[in-house]
């Protein structure tokens, strides 16, 4: 049965996932059973009682109270079992244990921002320790988003103006995919994040020094990674096509005309300012909609973006 469950639902990243999957497989088998049961009855009836002459007379059977009761009560029992099964699973996933590690999640078009208890912040990459309950306290800065982790079989809407919570205990080190599952506009399907389930040592190192692989990367490569993972790509294209913001094609060294009429040379200082204080200079013809990345990018990541932009000719 395990291969069937895996085929239907993919790998399980938490104990909760296992309890959801058991119910899922149960209802799946029920659905398959009743499909073939009903289909079989219809097939049998059509084969056996096909009209053979115009004079055929059928029995006048108007109803059968006993049968009506049978096919009301059996489904009733089945659905009540499913209700309680689903309910208990839901309750368990509702209240986080008191010792849960609390991480603040902010959703905004079209990035996920995570803030750890020590003030460390990351974008679109969430690091959590394995086998330790983690509670996400979530809110949105614009429209409704939804934080969905299929590996944990969990999701919860992320709403402007109120907090929602989601908690889980990841039970194996690795990477879990996160999706936004409440439609939020153009970048909805790119509003992805990853959960890095770390061993306790990896997690400590992460809090101290940031992600290990990222630390060792050459600058331009790091810049490309930042470009792809931190939401830049949603508005700034690499092929010269017009997006919500200016394209990065050939941007290095270019003279941009500002909305204030002045000309600006695109150099390291200009890029740095555009990332940290995006409202300082608005390129003519564009809306001032870029959010600030102050406190969200490490110094080395900004240098990486600068190097990456130099390669975009």
List the interface residues with other proteins, window 44-83 (CB under 8 A): 45-46, 49-52, 56-64, 66-68, 71-72, 75-76, 79-80, 82-83
Q: How far apart are CA 219 and CA 208, in angstroms?
A: 20
CB of 95 or CB of 280, closer to other proteins: 95
Smallest distance, Å, CB 149 to other proteins? 9
178 contacts 193 by C-beta, under 8 angstroms:
yes
Q: Would you say 160 or 250 has its CB closer to other proteins?
A: 160
**Using an 8 Å Cβ cutoff, are 196 and 127 in contact?**
yes
Paired strand residues for 167? 135
Taking the complex as a whole, the smallest distance from the CB of residue 97 to other proteins amounts, in Å, to: 16
In the list 12, 107, 135, 182, the residue contacting other proteins (rule: CB under 8 A) is 182
Using CB under 8 A, pick the residue from 38, 199, 213, 279 that binds other proteins: 38
Does the footprint of other proteins cover residue 238 (CB under 8 A)?
no
CA 246 to each of CA 63, 171, 200, 261, 274: distance values in angstroms, whole numbers, following the listed order: 72, 43, 42, 16, 12
Measured between alpha carbons, how far is 229 from 193 in angstroms, rounded to an integer? Answer: 8
Find out whether 139 and 103 touch, Cβ atoms under 8 Å.
no
Q: Which of 166, 225, 238 is nearest to 16 (CA)?
A: 166
Name which position in 18, 90, 258, 284 contacts other proteins (CB under 8 A). 90
Asked if 225 interacts with other proteins (CB under 8 A), we say no
**Closer Cβ to other proteins, 207 or 233, answer by number:** 233
What residues from 134 to 173 belong to the interface with other proteins (CB under 8 A)?
A: 142-144, 146, 148, 150-151, 153-157, 159-162, 164
Kind of pairing between the strands at 134-140 and 101-108 = parallel
For residue 292, the 8-state DSSP code is: P
Nearer to other proteins, 159 or 283 (CB): 159
Q: Which of 100, 115, 120, 188 is close enough to bind other proteins by CB under 8 A? A: 188
């Amino acid at each position: 049965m395990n291969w069937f469950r895996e085929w239907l639902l993919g790998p399980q990243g938490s104990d909760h996932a296992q309890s959801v999957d058991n119910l899922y497989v149960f209802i799946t088998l029920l659905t398959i059973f009743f499909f073939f049961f009903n289909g079989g009855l219809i097939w049998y009836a059509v084969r056996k009682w096909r009209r053979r002459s115009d004079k055929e007379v059928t029995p006048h059977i108007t109803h059968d109270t006993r049968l009506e009761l049978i096919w009301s009560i059996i489904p009733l029992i089945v659905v009540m079992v499913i209700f309680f099964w689903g309910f208990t699973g839901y309750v368990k996933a509702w209240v986080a244990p008191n010792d849960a590690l609390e991480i603040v999640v902010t959703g905004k078009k079209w990035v996920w921002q995570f803030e750890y208890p020590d003030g460390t912040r990351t974008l679109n990459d969430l690091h959590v320790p394995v086998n330790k309950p983690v509670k996400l306290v979530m809110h949105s800065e614009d429209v409704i988003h939804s934080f969905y982790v299929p590996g944990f079989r969990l999701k919860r809407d992320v709403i402007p103006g109120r907090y929602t919570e989601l908690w889980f205990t990841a039970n194996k080190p690795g990477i879990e995919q996160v999706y936004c599952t409440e439609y939020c506009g153009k970048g909805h399907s790119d509003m992805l994040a990853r959960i890095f389930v770390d061993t306790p040592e990896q997690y400590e190192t992460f809090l101290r020094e940031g992600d290990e692989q990222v630390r060792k990367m050459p600058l331009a490569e790091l810049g490309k990674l930042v470009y792809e993972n931190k939401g830049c790509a949603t508005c700034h294209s690499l092929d010269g096509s017009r997006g919500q913001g200016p394209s990065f094609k050939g941007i290095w060294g270019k003279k941009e005309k500002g909305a204030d009429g002045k000309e600006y040379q695109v150099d390291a200082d200009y890029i740095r300012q555009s990332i940290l204080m995006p409202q300082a200079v608005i390129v003519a013809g564009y809306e001032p909609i870029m959010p600030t990345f102050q406190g969200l990018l490490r110094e080395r990541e900004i240098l990486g973006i600068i190097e990456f932009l130099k390669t975009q000719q």
